Amino acid sequence: MWTRRQFVTTSCATLAARPLLAAVQPIPFIDSHVHVWKHDPRFPFAPGAKVPSEDASAEMLLELMHANDVSHTVIIQVIHYKWDNSYLADVLKRYPKQFRGVCRVNPEDPAAPDNLSRLTEVDGFHGVRLSPADGPQGDWLRGPLMPPLWRRCADLKVPMTLLIPVTRLPEIRPLIEANPDLQVVIDHMADCPVNQPEKLQLLLELARYPKVFVKISHLWSLSRQPYPYADAAAEAQHVVKAFGANRVMAGTDWPISLRQLDYAKSVALYRNHLEFLTAEQRNTAIAGTVQRVWPFEMEVV
């Protein structure tokens, strides 16, 4: 994946370049999607989890944010801990101004709504993420435990975030319609393949629901071309056209994205590329939309 030496080298290189850019005010950036974990006996990983040997700690993330003028970040609970949100809860307690956290709950547990309430009201989380698989093991998405969980999410006024295969998108329409005030965020453009426009249409059809948002993230994963991923950017352009910039958001997916590109290039992808965006649309996609869905307390300068 990456080594500590690589991480430090990348951070130092970015910091070294900053004086050259000091005269240029960077475009505000709020990262809508990262993960953190740390090898710490206080926060054990789930049995059988395939965890990289390197840490991806909150402190490492803060260093990268500072080096790249990223003001705030939404952290998505990583699967390495499964349903144990303790490490991220600790991070949110220590860094409440910089981060918002999205928890995980077991969607097949009838106690999931109450667990979500506790994680929201006690531990300070701002939303939940569900990850239905493409095959039969993800059929719980159509099961009887979903309506009460989605309703609780709506009652708590926190977003429902979905890492969902594009082919399952029609299955969430009844849940969206039953909770019209609930903000629903689709991760990574539902990982729709760039060469299958008929599947992309399943995502674009959700634009009819005003509280559905889309992360135009994972361009590096979807693309069949080199950085800055023109083919996946074209797909993102369709999403922006359908939903409007005020319902799309950028996200680096650090450190998962390190398989293909470092954090600085991930940020630059949205700040400096995606030429189809107007200046106003860019500001909205890389900061404004995230601020609407996960409000941060902004310092007044």
Task: State pLDDT tens for residues 19-60.
Answer: 444 446 778 999 999 999 999 999 999 999 999 999 999 999
Residue 121 has pLDDT above 60, yes or no: yes
Q: Is the pLDDT of residue 210 over 90?
A: yes
Residue 17, pLDDT > 50, answer: no
In degrees and rounded to multiples of 5, residue 2 shows phi and psi of: -160, 160
Condensed to tens digits (0 to 9), the pLDDT of residues 76-101 reads 999 999 999 999 999 999 999 999 99
Q: How far is CA 79 from CA 83, 140, 186, 201, 294, in A?
A: 8, 18, 17, 29, 21
Quick check: 64 and 98 in contact, CB under 8 A? no
Question: What ranges do the domains of the chain cover?
Answer: 27-293
* Alpha-carbon distances of 209 from 1, 12, 17, 142, 241, rounded to whole Å: 38, 44, 43, 19, 15
pLDDT band at 193 (very low <50, low <70, confident <90, very high): very high
Q: What is the pLDDT of residue 244?
A: 98
Class of domain 27-293: alpha beta
Going by pLDDT thresholds of 50, 70 and 90, the confidence category of residue 297 is confident
**Mean pLDDT over the full length of the chain:** 93
Question: Is the pLDDT reported for residue 282 higher than 50?
Answer: yes
Averaged over 171-178, what is the pLDDT? 98
Higher confidence at residue 297 or residue 78?
78
pLDDT band at 16, cuts 50/70/90?
very low
